[in-house]
C-alpha cells in the first residue's frame, strides 16, 4: 500500500518570531493535534517570514 500525503505551507509572521518560542511552540502543537508533522522551516531573508512546511497522511 502506497502512503498518500497532503501538505501545508504556513508563513509565520515576523512579530511572532520576536517573542519567546512559546507562541511558535503553541502553533506547532495545535497543528500536531490536527495530525500535521513539521518537515522543515526556512527563512531565506531576515525581512521575510519563516515558512513552515508540514505534511500529514491523507485520509
DSSP classification of residue 45: S
pLDDT at site 18: 56
pLDDT at site 39: 98
Alpha helices in the chain (DSSP H): 14-17, 22-33
pLDDT at site 19: 59
User: For the chain, which residues make up each domain, given as ranges?
Assistant: 5-57
Among the listed residues 5, 19, 21, 10, the one whose alpha carbon sits nearest the alpha carbon of residue 43? 10
Which pTM was predicted? Answer: 0.80
pLDDT at site 20: 58
**Residue ranges in the chain whose pLDDT is less than 70:** 14-20
Among the listed residues 49, 55, 53, the one whose alpha carbon sits nearest the alpha carbon of residue 12? 49
> Coil, helix or strand for 41?
strand
Amino acid at each position: 500500500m502506497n502512503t498518500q500525503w497532503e501538505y501545508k505551507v504556513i508563513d509565520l509572521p515576523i512579530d511572532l518570531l520576536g517573542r519567546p518560542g512559546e507562541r511558535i511552540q503553541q502553533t506547532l502543537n495545535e497543528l500536531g493535534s490536527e495530525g500535521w508533522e513539521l518537515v522543515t522551516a526556512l527563512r531565506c531573508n531576515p525581512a521575510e517570514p519563516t515558512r513552515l512546511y508540514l505534511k500529514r497522511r491523507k485520509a
